[in-house]
Structure 1
């Protein structure tokens, strides 16, 4: 998968940061933003669970932390999967709308971190500006939809069907590889739907599935996906903060705190991604993970639909 050096040189990182190198600045700003939110907005020990709901205990919040770390490691390895893993689990315990809002912050941090880590810059935006523009439009529509309507389990269920269909397609086709095939209409459509689904439900498998099928340059695949997702989550957070009442101070703190602990998993996953991994084993890992995610979504949504 990758031949990049998996080791980290802290001294070189600090040297580049002091020189304001793009990569190190992006990674540091993303990390410092959630660190500041988790510290400055801390509600006090007596109010740690107050903003969630009365049935959520401190022990359950600790379980959320473990889930976030594991999901962060998978995101670091694959470039996607964080929201697909955390959202169904969180939403099965707390209010789904609350879960979608709170879990907008950790993916923002992760994707902005990976934009820097993969050295993805404005060149990707110049190449794929239509994709980025439609993803932003989809995100704006999705936030409005989330604020106005309660869709219940139907949207996650449909996303589970999409994920399962993709898994079956890849297995039947024996992991079809279409090297850097560029379909502007299909890619732009996937971008719009990705923005909408992420904003409305925090679940967006379409663009990762597209990139996984058509883009085999791992660094560009992860970096480009992170760029688009980072922009989508930025638009979501700004829109929720300025034009809705969804993003409260407590929710910002909780999302930032989850993001901070997610950094541990993200760094682990990034290290593992830089090791030499057999491509076929990697594909099986991706498909198996997506299959488990789809089953978890069905487990949480089918009983509610029936």
Structure 2
């Protein structure tokens, strides 16, 4: 059987998951990230990825965001963060577009949230470039700590009034921060949830602002992965079949979201933040 050339960035694929087809009677193979497009996925692997996409898309539809937030940690259980991000790039673009359109008034939303999304895109470019050269586990741990501090900020009486008092500065700050974290970990949602809650955004405003940031961030991320040979046109054909599953689950989630009241929605967001923080901290500690 042929072997795959290795470099300093190697993906450890556990044989038990049978994620990739390997030569028979051989130990788990270490695959070069730059040769990712050349890998052949097993049928079981494609089913597993489809299930992850289905779950992540339904959750995204029900709360307005969360596709990469759910899919990335699950995929990262049997691959590395870089590969997990590559796997979610195209489905995330589709999910973001539909989520923005589903809330209506697209041009109004684009004008209102343009500055936030622009800085999210710039931050994503910075974060992605760092991800290509530096291990991002430490940044996932930092993100978890920041979320915990926010959730308990009411008890320690931290004030966020400056967010509404200085809207342009806060959009630049939170957009850039969300983008950097998104580029490093594929997760912008916590920072954008904090911004949305403190800005007193409605459910619709939160959904459109967040997805616009995700959309521009993913576009620049695809470009950077492509020019660094981490993503090729082969991935488009490989995962095009997954888009139907993603669409069905997404629309199912949107139907559920329309029945959720505003107060319950905010409670769900806070609970989701807490769960995400714990997941990030556990993943870093393992």
8 Å Cα contact 1:120/1:220 also seen in 2: no
**For 1:284, which of 264, 267, 271 is the aligned residue?**
267
Partner deviation per Cα, 1:165-184 (whole Å, 9 max, x = no partner) = 333336x499x998x94622
Partner SS for 1:169: coil
8 Å Cα contact 2:120/2:180 also seen in 1: yes
Tell me: CA distance 1:255–1:189, structure 2 relative to 1, closer, same or farther (3 Å).
Answer: farther
Q: Distance in 1 between matches of 2:43 and 2:104?
A: 38
Task: For residue 93 of structure 1, report the CA deviation from its aligned partner.
Answer: 0.8
Partner SS for 2:153: helix
Question: May I ask how many residue pairs the two structures share in their alignment?
Answer: 250
Tell me: CA distance 1:152–1:217, structure 2 relative to 1, closer, same or farther (3 Å).
Answer: closer
8 Å Cα contact 2:203/2:262 also seen in 1: no
Q: Distance in 1 between matches of 2:256 and 2:212?
A: 21
Answer yes or no: is 1:228 the counterpart of 2:213: yes
Segments of 5+ residues of structure 2 without an aligned counterpart are: 1-18, 22-35
**Which residue number in structure 2 is paired with residue 84 of structure 1?**
69
Partner deviation per Cα, 1:81-129 (whole Å, 9 max, x = no partner) = 2211111111121122111122122221111111211124233333343
Partner SS for 2:152: helix
**For 1:203, which of 187, 192, 197 is the aligned residue?**
187
8 Å Cα contact 1:65/1:261 also seen in 2: yes
8 Å Cα contact 1:120/1:224 also seen in 2: no
Task: For residue 254 of structure 1, report the CA deviation from its aligned partner.
Answer: 4.4
Tell me: CA distance 1:254–1:165, structure 2 relative to 1, closer, same or farther (3 Å).
Answer: farther
Partner deviation per Cα, 1:42-94 (whole Å, 9 max, x = no partner) = xxxxxx9455899x864354233223222212211222222111111111211
Q: Distance in 2 between matches of 1:75 and 1:108?
A: 12
Tell me: CA distance 1:215–1:99, structure 2 relative to 1, closer, same or farther (3 Å).
Answer: same
Q: Distance in 2 between matches of 1:150 and 1:217?
A: 37
**Which residue number in structure 2 is paired with residue 67 of structure 1?**
52
> Which has the bigger relative contact order, CA under 8 A and spacing at least 6?
1
Tell me: CA distance 1:236–1:100, structure 2 relative to 1, closer, same or farther (3 Å).
Answer: same
**Which residue number in structure 2 is paired with residue 119 of structure 1?**
104
Answer yes or no: is 1:294 the counterpart of 2:277: yes
Q: Distance in 1 between matches of 2:160 and 2:257?
A: 20
Tell me: CA distance 1:246–1:233, structure 2 relative to 1, closer, same or farther (3 Å).
Answer: same
**For 2:130, which of 145, 167, 186 is the aligned residue?**
145
8 Å Cα contact 2:120/2:179 also seen in 1: yes
The RMSD of aligned alpha carbons is: 3.1
Tell me: CA distance 1:199–1:218, structure 2 relative to 1, closer, same or farther (3 Å).
Answer: same
Segments of 5+ residues of structure 1 without an aligned counterpart are: 1-47
Please give the residue correspondences for 1:179-218 in structure 2 after superposition, counting only pairs within 5 Å: 181=164, 183-204=167-188, 205-218=190-203
Partner deviation per Cα, 1:211-256 (whole Å, 9 max, x = no partner) = 1332332112212221222122122223322x22111234334454
Partner SS for 1:104: helix
